[in-house]
Chains A and B, each alone.
Chain A
Amino acid sequence: QKEVEQDPGPLSVPEGAIVSLNCTYSNSAFQYFMWYRQYSRKGPELLMYTYSSGNKEDGRFTAQVDKSSKYISLFIRDSQPSDSATYLCAMSATQGGSEKLVFGKGTKLTVNP
């Protein structure tokens, strides 16, 4: 079992839809959870960052972490064609170490006008 599992999709939705992206993980030491957006042939861009369990909202994006279930989610409201990209979940363990990120495979999202 990989440390981080993410459904690669692809996921195709109409403009304006609510998008739900998810990851599960197996390492209970993970405490920092991130979502990155990656456009084709570009580097990952940090979208959301969450520490431990809970919700965080930023504009149209909401990140949720449920440590008891080892499950994280990213919701995109009122999705736009410009949201079309690959979304990568990433996580790291406690501070004090390298805090290297462990990534999921990424979910490719297409938002159709």
Chain B
Amino acid sequence: DTGVSQNPRHKITKRGQNVTFRCDPISEHNRLYWYRQTLGQGPEFLTYFQNEAQLEKSRLLSDRFSAERPKGSFSTLEIQRTEQGDSAMYLCASSLSGSYGNTIYFGEGSWLTVV
């Protein structure tokens, strides 16, 4: 499978715990995005990387959230001291800059439930 891969697909955690999600983008894609989606809403942009550089962060990304893409390949999204309001699906997406239209492809998402 050469699509965007996310792990774990589901995570249940207690409030106050830290969680980390991993994303492996499509291999030739240099851009990687994180989005968050809650029930009944469309995905909301969190942050994006071009290669290893984090170039934009939404104000939705509080100080408890940190994303990295250390070698310009896979990325991790860590949420510290989770709160119930963090319960959502976290979507990773990738694209190739400079390609026609820069179309963005999503992974299957990582579901987070904070109890």
Residues of A within 8 A of B (CB): 4, 6, 8, 32, 34, 36, 41-46, 49, 51, 88, 90, 92, 95, 98-106
Interface contact B106-A45, CB-CB below 8 Å: yes
Interface contact B33-A100, CB-CB below 8 Å: yes
On chain A, the residues within 8 Å of B42 by CB distance are 4, 6, 88, 90, 103-106
On chain A, the residues within 8 Å of B85 by CB distance are none
Given contacts A90-B42, A98-B56, A103-B43, contact A34 B33 (CB under 8 A): no
Q: Which of B48, B91, B95, B101 is in CB contact (< 8 Å) with A43?
A: B91
Chain B residues 92-115 with CB under 8 Å of chain A are 95, 101-109, 111
Residues of B within 8 A of A (CB): 4, 6, 33, 35, 40-45, 48, 55-56, 89, 91, 95, 101-109, 111
A94 shortest CB reach to chain B, Å = 11
On chain A, the residues within 8 Å of B103 by CB distance are 34, 46, 49
CB closest residue in chain A, given B3:
A43
A75 shortest CB reach to chain B, Å = 20
A91 shortest CB reach to chain B, Å = 11
On chain B, the residues within 8 Å of A105 by CB distance are 40-42
CB closest residue in chain A, given B98:
A95
Chain A contact residues: helix, strand, loop or mixed: strand
CA gap between A41 and B6 in the complex, in Å: 13
CA gap between A95 and B91 in the complex, in Å: 22
Interface contact B48-A100, CB-CB below 8 Å: yes
Given contacts A44-B43, A44-B106, contact A98 B111 (CB under 8 A): no
Interface contact A42-B45, CB-CB below 8 Å: no
Interface contact A42-B43, CB-CB below 8 Å: no
Q: Which of A46, A95, A104, A106 is in CB contact (< 8 Å) with B104?
A: A46
CA gap between A103 and B45 in the complex, in Å: 9
CB closest residue in chain A, given B50:
A98
